């Protein structure tokens, strides 16, 4: 099970620039759907990659679903060479996304995010209209039911 | 202009979709209203409880299949 408070604390206390997106962002806006991991869009500056390395390092990030023993090096250099990382850690699963379809990267999304208080930490979460837009842009059939719920939340007056 | 592909200026993606509209008819509106009464922390805490339940159900199912 993903320990959301610990993962959030690792990112927030490490000063990582990130925005909650996808499933947990939907939960923040009132969705009742089950999600197993935490998805964030992270800033791609060198400083932020170093903060990510330090913040998550103690929790042994590793490629999710990959056999143990691969030469995966958790470092800012590795993050710089890639973009989107699907990871497992000792406190749960996390997807680090450099970009999302229909939304772009951290700098593009910053003005489409809201500040929230979560487990005593202040962090940023994609706003509801943008969450809906990115889900629609992804165009995955399995997302259509989630979009229906998000639009209903928007129409009900969700944040 | 590759960056423009990522931006969301195009509202055509927000047109009503018949499949999405069909799903809306079956939504539990009372559950959504209940969720909106909670704080974000309470909503994520409820998600963690749901994860615990799902894990326990999976474990019970696996145990039953081994018998």
| Mean pLDDT for the stretch of residues A57-75 | 94
Nearest chain A residue to B4 by CA distance is A104
Q: Alpha carbon of A60 to those of A6, A42, A56, A92: distances in Å?
A: 14, 18, 7, 10
Q: Alpha carbon of A33 to those of A104, A135, A146: distances in Å?
A: 24, 14, 8
Q: Which of residues 34 through 53 in chain A touch B, CB cutoff 8 A?
A: 34-36
pLDDT in tens, B12-58: 567 888 899 999 998 999 999 999 999 999 999 999 999 998 888 88
Burial classification of residue A130, based on how many CB atoms lie within 10 Å of its CB (0-12 exposed, 13-18 middle, 19 or more buried): buried
Residue B6 is assigned to a structural domain of this protein: no
Residue B60 is assigned to a structural domain of this protein: yes
CB A102 within 8 A of CB A131: no
Contact A147 B41 (CB under 8 A): no
Residue B11 is assigned to a structural domain of this protein: no
CB A5 within 8 A of CB B41: no
Contact A136 B13 (CB under 8 A): yes
Query: Rounded to an integer, what distance in angstroms lies between the CA atom of residue A133 and that of residue A113?
Result: 13
Contact B36 A30 (CB under 8 A): yes
> From the DSSP assignment, how many helices (H) and strands (E) are in chain B?
3, 0
Residue of B25, B35, B58 to mutate for A, most A C-beta atoms under 10 A: B35
Give residue A11's pLDDT band: very low, low, confident or very high (50, 70, 90): very high
Contact B23 A32 (CB under 8 A): no
CATH topology of domain A4-154: Beta Polymerase; domain 2 (3.30.460)
Query: Rounded to an integer, what distance in angstroms lies between the CA atom of residue A31 and that of residue B35?
Result: 7
Residue B52 is assigned to a structural domain of this protein: yes
pLDDT computed for residue B5 by the predictor: 47
Three-state DSSP state, A159 = coil
| Mean pLDDT for the stretch of residues B4-11 | 51
Q: What are the structural domain ranges in chain A?
A: 4-154
Residue B50 is assigned to a structural domain of this protein: yes
Interface membership of B1 toward A (CB under 8 Å): no
Interface membership of A130 toward B (CB under 8 Å): yes
Give me the domain span that covers residue B49. Answer: 30-67
Contact A102 B40 (CB under 8 A): no
How many domains does one find in chain B? 1
Whether the per-residue pLDDT at A145 is higher than 70: the answer is yes
> pTM for this one?
0.90
Q: Alpha carbon of A142 to those of A25, A55, A145, A146: distances in Å?
A: 17, 32, 7, 8
| Mean pLDDT for the stretch of residues A126-145 | 92
Query: Rounded to an integer, what distance in angstroms lies between the CA atom of residue A41 and that of residue A123?
Result: 12
Residue B64 is assigned to a structural domain of this protein: yes
pLDDT in tens, A33-47: 998 889 999 999 999
In degrees, rounded to 5, the angle at the alpha carbon of residue A58 between the alpha carbons of residues A52 and A60 is: 90
> From the DSSP assignment, how many helices (H) and strands (E) are in chain A?
7, 7
Q: Which of residues 7 through 66 in chain B touch A, CB cutoff 8 A?
A: 7-8, 13-14, 17, 19-21, 23-24, 27-29, 31-33, 35-36, 38-41, 43-44, 47-48, 50-52, 54-55
The terminus-to-terminus CA distance of chain B in angstroms comes to: 60
CB A14 within 8 A of CB A58: no
Residue B7 is assigned to a structural domain of this protein: no
């Amino acid at each position: 099970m993903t320990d959301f408070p610990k993962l959030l604390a690792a990112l927030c206390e490490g000063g990582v620039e990130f925005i909650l997106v996808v499933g947990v962002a939907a939960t923040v806006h009132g969705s009742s759907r089950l999600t197993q991991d935490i998805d964030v869009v992270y800033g791609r500056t060198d400083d932020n990659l170093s903060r990510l390395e330090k913040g998550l390092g103690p929790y042994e990030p590793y490629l999710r679903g990959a056999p143990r023993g691969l030469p995966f090096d958790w470092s800012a250099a590795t993050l710089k060479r890639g973009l989107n990382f699907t990871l497992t850690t000792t406190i749960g699963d996390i997807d680090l996304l450099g970009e999302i379809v229909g939304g772009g990267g951290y700098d593009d999304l910053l003005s489409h995010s809201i500040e929230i208080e979560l487990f005593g930490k202040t962090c940023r979460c994609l706003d509801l209209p943008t969450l809906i837009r990115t889900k629609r842009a992804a165009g995955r059939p399995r997302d259509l039911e989630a979009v229906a719920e998000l639009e209903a939340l928007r129409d009900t007056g969700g944040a | 202009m590759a960056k423009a592909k990522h931006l969301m200026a195009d509202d055509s993606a927000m047109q009503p979709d018949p499949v999405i509209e069909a799903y809306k008819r079956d939504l539990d509106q009372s559950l959504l209203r209940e969720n909106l009464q909670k704080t974000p922390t309470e909503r994520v805490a409820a998600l963690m409880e749901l994860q615990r339940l799902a894990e326990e159900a999976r474990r019970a199912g696996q145990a039953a299949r081994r018998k």
